[in-house]
Structure 1
Protein backbone atom coordinates (compact mmCIF):
# COMPACT_ATOMS: atom_id res chain seq x y z
CA UNK A 1 0.00 0.00 0.00
CA UNK A 2 1.23 3.44 -0.84
CA UNK A 3 1.81 5.54 2.22
CA UNK A 4 0.32 8.44 0.25
CA UNK A 5 -3.08 6.73 0.54
CA UNK A 6 -2.53 6.39 4.30
CA UNK A 7 -1.55 10.07 4.60
CA UNK A 8 -4.65 11.05 2.64
CA UNK A 9 -6.82 8.95 4.99
CA UNK A 10 -5.23 10.66 8.02
CA UNK A 11 -6.12 14.04 6.52
CA UNK A 12 -9.67 12.85 5.77
CA UNK A 13 -10.22 11.96 9.43
CA UNK A 14 -9.30 15.50 10.46
CA UNK A 15 -12.02 16.79 8.15
CA UNK A 16 -14.86 14.54 9.35
CA UNK A 17 -17.98 16.59 10.04
CA UNK A 18 -19.68 13.95 12.18
CA UNK A 19 -18.23 12.25 15.22
CA UNK A 20 -17.72 8.55 14.42
CA UNK A 21 -17.88 7.65 18.12
CA UNK A 22 -15.28 6.61 20.66
CA UNK A 23 -15.06 3.02 19.45
CA UNK A 24 -14.05 4.13 15.94
CA UNK A 25 -11.74 6.85 17.23
CA UNK A 26 -9.92 4.41 19.51
CA UNK A 27 -9.61 1.87 16.69
CA UNK A 28 -8.21 4.54 14.36
CA UNK A 29 -5.85 5.77 17.08
CA UNK A 30 -4.49 2.26 17.67
CA UNK A 31 -4.05 1.62 13.95
CA UNK A 32 -2.36 4.99 13.44
CA UNK A 33 0.09 4.38 16.27
CA UNK A 34 0.81 0.83 15.10
CA UNK A 35 1.37 2.05 11.54
CA UNK A 36 3.64 4.93 12.53
CA UNK A 37 5.39 3.74 15.71
CA UNK A 38 5.11 -0.07 15.77
CA UNK A 39 4.20 -2.10 18.85
CA UNK A 40 3.07 -0.28 21.98
CA UNK A 41 5.80 0.76 24.40
CA UNK A 42 5.90 2.16 27.89
CA UNK A 43 3.69 1.29 30.80
CA UNK A 44 -0.10 1.38 30.84
CA UNK A 45 -1.48 4.59 32.37
CA UNK A 46 -3.10 4.31 35.78
CA UNK A 47 -6.79 4.38 36.61
CA UNK A 48 -6.62 8.14 37.15
CA UNK A 49 -6.07 8.54 33.39
CA UNK A 50 -8.97 6.68 31.74
CA UNK A 51 -8.46 8.29 28.33
CA UNK A 52 -4.78 7.41 28.29
CA UNK A 53 -5.62 3.88 29.38
CA UNK A 54 -8.20 3.43 26.62
CA UNK A 55 -5.74 4.71 24.00
CA UNK A 56 -2.97 2.46 25.34
CA UNK A 57 -5.28 -0.57 25.31
CA UNK A 58 -6.49 0.17 21.75
CA UNK A 59 -2.87 0.30 20.60
CA UNK A 60 -1.78 -2.73 22.65
CA UNK A 61 -4.49 -4.89 21.02
CA UNK A 62 -2.63 -4.45 17.73
CA UNK A 63 0.79 -5.63 18.95
CA UNK A 64 2.43 -7.78 16.32
CA UNK A 65 0.46 -6.23 13.46
CA UNK A 66 2.69 -5.19 10.60
CA UNK A 67 2.73 -1.43 9.99
CA UNK A 68 1.59 -1.99 6.40
CA UNK A 69 -1.39 -4.06 7.59
CA UNK A 70 -2.29 -1.35 10.12
CA UNK A 71 -2.19 1.26 7.34
CA UNK A 72 -4.47 -0.87 5.16
CA UNK A 73 -6.99 -1.34 7.97
CA UNK A 74 -6.88 2.38 8.79
CA UNK A 75 -7.54 3.34 5.17
CA UNK A 76 -10.41 0.81 4.93
CA UNK A 77 -12.11 2.21 8.05
CA UNK A 78 -11.71 5.81 6.86
CA UNK A 79 -13.07 4.85 3.46
CA UNK A 80 -16.18 3.41 5.16
CA UNK A 81 -16.59 6.51 7.34
CA UNK A 82 -16.23 8.98 4.50
CA UNK A 83 -18.50 7.11 2.09
CA UNK A 84 -21.36 6.72 4.55
Structure 2
Protein backbone atom coordinates (compact mmCIF):
# COMPACT_ATOMS: atom_id res chain seq x y z
CA UNK A 1 0.00 0.00 0.00
CA UNK A 2 3.02 2.29 0.21
CA UNK A 3 3.09 2.48 -3.58
CA UNK A 4 -0.31 4.20 -3.71
CA UNK A 5 0.90 7.30 -1.93
CA UNK A 6 3.22 8.10 -4.87
CA UNK A 7 0.65 7.45 -7.61
CA UNK A 8 -2.25 9.56 -8.66
CA UNK A 9 -5.41 7.83 -7.61
CA UNK A 10 -7.84 9.93 -9.65
CA UNK A 11 -9.06 8.15 -12.73
CA UNK A 12 -7.81 9.83 -15.87
CA UNK A 13 -10.15 10.42 -18.82
CA UNK A 14 -10.00 7.83 -21.61
CA UNK A 15 -9.19 10.45 -24.24
CA UNK A 16 -5.79 10.97 -22.62
CA UNK A 17 -4.48 7.82 -24.33
CA UNK A 18 -4.97 9.37 -27.75
CA UNK A 19 -2.33 12.10 -27.42
CA UNK A 20 0.77 9.85 -27.24
CA UNK A 21 -0.47 7.94 -30.28
CA UNK A 22 -1.06 11.21 -32.14
CA UNK A 23 2.48 12.32 -31.28
CA UNK A 24 3.92 9.05 -32.60
CA UNK A 25 1.94 9.26 -35.82
CA UNK A 26 2.82 12.92 -36.29
CA UNK A 27 6.50 12.01 -35.94
CA UNK A 28 6.00 9.29 -38.56
CA UNK A 29 4.30 11.66 -40.99
CA UNK A 30 7.06 14.26 -40.61
CA UNK A 31 9.77 11.61 -41.03
CA UNK A 32 7.94 10.25 -44.08
CA UNK A 33 7.85 13.72 -45.64
CA UNK A 34 11.55 14.23 -44.92
CA UNK A 35 12.31 10.87 -46.51
CA UNK A 36 10.27 11.80 -49.58
CA UNK A 37 12.18 15.09 -49.85
CA UNK A 38 15.46 13.12 -49.51
CA UNK A 39 16.44 15.14 -46.44
CA UNK A 40 16.36 12.14 -44.11
CA UNK A 41 17.21 8.49 -44.75
CA UNK A 42 15.23 6.19 -42.52
CA UNK A 43 15.38 5.82 -39.55
CA UNK A 44 13.01 2.88 -40.02
CA UNK A 45 12.63 0.65 -43.06
CA UNK A 46 8.94 1.46 -43.49
CA UNK A 47 9.72 5.18 -43.87
CA UNK A 48 12.07 4.69 -46.83
CA UNK A 49 9.70 5.79 -49.58
CA UNK A 50 12.05 5.10 -52.49
CA UNK A 51 12.72 1.48 -51.48
CA UNK A 52 9.13 0.16 -51.20
CA UNK A 53 5.61 0.68 -52.43
CA UNK A 54 3.02 3.03 -50.98
CA UNK A 55 0.90 0.03 -49.95
CA UNK A 56 3.67 -1.23 -47.66
CA UNK A 57 4.08 2.22 -46.09
CA UNK A 58 0.33 2.63 -45.48
CA UNK A 59 0.08 -0.91 -44.10
CA UNK A 60 2.89 -0.29 -41.60
CA UNK A 61 1.37 3.03 -40.53
CA UNK A 62 -1.96 1.29 -39.93
CA UNK A 63 -0.30 -1.50 -37.93
CA UNK A 64 1.62 0.99 -35.79
CA UNK A 65 -1.46 3.15 -35.18
CA UNK A 66 -3.52 0.14 -34.07
CA UNK A 67 -0.73 -1.10 -31.81
CA UNK A 68 -0.19 2.34 -30.25
CA UNK A 69 -3.85 2.82 -29.47
CA UNK A 70 -4.47 -0.83 -28.57
CA UNK A 71 -1.62 -1.09 -26.08
CA UNK A 72 -2.47 2.27 -24.54
CA UNK A 73 -6.10 1.21 -24.16
CA UNK A 74 -5.06 -2.12 -22.63
CA UNK A 75 -2.82 -0.33 -20.13
CA UNK A 76 -5.62 2.09 -19.32
CA UNK A 77 -8.10 -0.74 -18.73
CA UNK A 78 -5.68 -2.71 -16.55
CA UNK A 79 -4.62 0.28 -14.47
CA UNK A 80 -8.01 1.91 -13.95
CA UNK A 81 -10.34 -1.06 -13.74
CA UNK A 82 -12.67 -1.01 -10.79
CA UNK A 83 -11.25 -2.94 -7.86
* Length-normalised TM-score, structure 2: 0.32
Which structure has more RCO (C-alpha within 8 Å, separation ≥ 6)? 1
TM-score (norm 1): 0.32
